[in-house]
Amino acid sequence: MVILTFCSHSIHWLLLNGSYLFQDLYIHVGWPLYWKYGHAFEAFKIIVTNPDTVLNTLTREVKEIGPDGQEVTKVVPALSEEVKDSLIKNMRRRMTPQPLKIRADIEMKCFQFDGVLHIKDAMRKAEAAGNDDCPVKIKLVSPPLYVLATQTLDKEQGIAVLNRAIIACTEAIEQHKGKLGVKEAPRAVSVTLTFNT
């Protein structure tokens, strides 16, 4: 219920803040999206990536006096192009997903000759396990504690990448008789539902 309340507040805020025609927006955009998608927030998520599939289906009826003096009803788009562009721009700015920070805490030791160099090599192997969408960074907290971290939009991908980084780091350090222990498994540390302002 809290999420629906938050979503409803967000919808109201986006419709109210983006335009001077907020009552018309509710009548011709907001409520039809609720009826069609169950909640306007679901439609807004689609609008961020593909606005025409949702907004071009919305229409309204306008009554005009025809040339013969009779009242004629026309079906026109619910939004003018300038209001549509303003609404899309506002939604894209405010509803852009925020990247999640994924983190794992490890303890790494190597008491062999050149152990520090072996630990650095293992750290490089862990960072190499990342990719463009999900780069891995490893930082020293205080010996022997290290933190592996990444930022991504996909939580499962981030956890999988950090798990691969831990495996690569473990294999590299164990080749030199070192040890790696996972203190805290990969987890999301910044799970937030926010809107950019």
pLDDT tens-digit map of 10-67: 555 555 554 445 777 788 888 898 899 888 888 888 888 888 999 899 988 888 888 8
What 117-122 contacts at long range (C-beta under 8 Å, 24+ apart), as own/partner pairs, is 118/172, 118/173, 118/175, 118/176, 118/178, 119/173, 119/178, 121/172, 122/169, 122/170, 122/172, 122/173, 122/178, 122/180
All residue ranges of the chain with pLDDT < 50 are 1-6, 18-20, 192-197
- Residue 20 in 3-state DSSP? coil
At residue 143, what are phi and psi to the nearest 5 degrees? Answer: -55, 130
Cβ 18 vs Cβ 87: under 8 Å: yes
* pLDDT at residue 13, rounded to an integer: 58
* pLDDT at residue 5, rounded to an integer: 44
pTM above 0.75, yes or no: no
* pLDDT at residue 142, rounded to an integer: 93
Residue with tokens 């939004």: 79
* pLDDT at residue 21, rounded to an integer: 59
DSSP state of 86: H
In the chain the beta strands, taken as DSSP E runs, fall at 59-65, 71-77, 100-109, 137-142, 145-152, 179-188
